[in-house]
Structure 1
Amino acid sequence: MGKKQAGIITDEVRELINEVARATASMAYIDGMGGNVNYFRAMESLLFNYKKLQALVADYEGYTRVEFQGKSKSIGSFSPSGGGNVYRTEDDILEELERDKVKAYHRTRARFEEIDRVISLFADRKEFHVVRLYYFGEDAQGEPRPADAQPYTWDDIAEELGRMGLVRDVKSARRWRNKIVNDMAVCMFGKPAAVAAGTFRKERASGRE
């Protein structure tokens, strides 16, 4: 077996992995919480992290690259069942770490594909312009904005969409956001989110929200 090179994950990629883990962990959280979940906020978390997740799964090599700080050819590890130290080579440890990274990558990719399928269902709706502006950091045409650009405010969003003849004011832009995020949440999380969205809309209609 040839010698393997142990690469180093950059701080930027590590932070992306951590952020995506926090975002996609929302499914496990939801499963454990039953109906006591704000599905609208959970969907917003996925939308805010969608572009980061997209970039992360696009870089298979970066995601699965292994950090290794070992100095010696053989490293001792205690084996409870074996009754002593078991020595493994650096290559053995690297292979195990790489397998774990590959498994984690495929779990993350599966989560991304699930989110991506839901988002793609709404890409042709007029309200999707708000998603691009507010959650994705894009302009109204879906083009990336400069890295140092300030996030759009709701006044900015209303102005952008007003120039396109789509909305009249901030209230309309927010209403579009509420509608499309609730609809996405229903597709993402199913019946409990549908019930929550129905309650939300009734409260807004009655003036309580």
Structure 2
Amino acid sequence: MQRKKEFITEEIKELINEVARVTASMAYIENAGGQINYFRAMESLLYNYKKLETLVADEEEYTKVELKERSKSIVVFSPSAGGERKTRDEVLEEMEKQRAILYQRTKARFDEVDRVVQLFKDRKEFHVIRMYYFGEDAKGNQREAGAPQYTWEDIASELSEMGLIRDAKSARRWRNKIVNDMAVCLFGKPAAVGVGTYRKKQEE
């Protein structure tokens, strides 16, 4: 049982590092001026949606802090605090508070993306999102770890058997449509302008 716990802890640590990059990118998108590729930004969030979901599922595991030390009686000096002495427990408490703040920020980011995902999950095009970004099959079942990513031909084949599409070109068109629509819901007016420009070019 202990061995399983250690595995989960290492997995969570890896997810924290990876998701931190994603949420930082999202914050940049929200505050940056100039041209932003909202389609690519939405894709990045969809690729990492399952990782975000796993990460925020266990707040206790996320906020747990491990402090490596040679002795349990370790005392930490903080020059920035005027030489104040801090015990191991005080240091751990501060680190846990910071991790809790980070968790709340990450959870808020996930909730924003999740609301959009839930809004679109009943659309027929969502099959492509499941297969291309989430690592699921056409019916929404999670595929085995390490399974190769679907190609557009694979996606078209499975969805064709369900009577939904005919070819890979149709699958890509579905992807473009739903990802653009999701980007508009998440990022608002700037993304809507970008999508409008993109669709106009497609029609010309």
Q: TM-score, normalised by structure 1?
A: 0.89
| Identity across matched positions, percent | 63
* 3-state SS in 1 of match to 2:86: strand
What is aligned with 1:96? 94
Kindly provide the CA deviation profile for residues 67-121 of structure 1, in whole angstroms up to 9, marking residues without a partner as x: 2012342423243462xx3211111101101111111111111111111001111
How far apart, CA to CA, are the structure 1 residues paired with 2:77 and 2:126?
A: 53
Query: Which is richer in helix?
Result: 2
Amino acid at match of 2:76: G
Does 1:75 pair with 2:64? no
What is aligned with 1:132? 130
- Give 1:33 deviation, angstroms: 2.4
C-alpha RMSD of the superposition:
1.7
Amino acid at match of 1:144: Q
Q: Name the CA shift for 1:193/1:9 in 2 (closer, same or farther; >3 Å).
A: same
What is aligned with 1:65? 64
Does 1:30 pair with 2:45? no
How far apart, CA to CA, are the structure 2 residues paired with 1:198 and 1:76?
A: 57
How far apart, CA to CA, are the structure 2 residues paired with 1:38 and 1:67?
A: 39
How far apart, CA to CA, are the structure 2 residues paired with 1:41 and 1:81?
A: 44
How far apart, CA to CA, are the structure 2 residues paired with 1:57 and 1:28?
A: 18
Kindly provide the CA deviation profile for residues 101-156 of structure 1, in whole angstroms up to 9, marking residues without a partner as x: 11111111111111100111100000000000000000111110011211100000
How far apart, CA to CA, are the structure 1 residues paired with 2:41 and 2:177?
A: 15
The answer to whether the 8 A contact 1:8-1:68 is kept is no
How far apart, CA to CA, are the structure 2 residues paired with 1:60 and 1:81?
A: 30
Query: Which among 151, 154, 179 is matched to residue 152 of structure 2?
Result: 154
Which shows bigger deviation, 58-67 or 119-128?
Answer: 58-67
Does 1:39 pair with 2:28? no
Which shows bigger deviation, 50-59 or 60-69?
Answer: 60-69
How far apart, CA to CA, are the structure 1 residues paired with 2:15 and 2:81?
A: 37
* Structure 1: 5+ residue stretches without partners: 1-6
How far apart, CA to CA, are the structure 1 residues paired with 2:168 and 2:81?
A: 65
The answer to whether the 8 A contact 2:29-2:36 is kept is yes
* 3-state SS in 2 of match to 1:121: helix
Q: How many residues align?
A: 198
How far apart, CA to CA, are the structure 1 residues paired with 2:156 and 2:80?
A: 63
The answer to whether the 8 A contact 2:76-2:88 is kept is no
What is aligned with 1:163? 161
Q: TM-score, normalised by structure 2?
A: 0.91
- Give 1:21 deviation, angstroms: 1.1
What is aligned with 1:202? 200
How far apart, CA to CA, are the structure 2 residues paired with 1:158 and 1:124?
A: 19
How far apart, CA to CA, are the structure 2 residues paired with 1:148 and 1:78?
A: 45
Q: What does 1:177-192 align with in structure 2 at a 5 Å threshold? A: 177-192=175-190
What is aligned with 2:3? none
Kindly provide the CA deviation profile for residues 133-190 of structure 1, in whole angstroms up to 9, marking residues without a partner as x: 0000001111100112111000000101101110111110000000000000000000
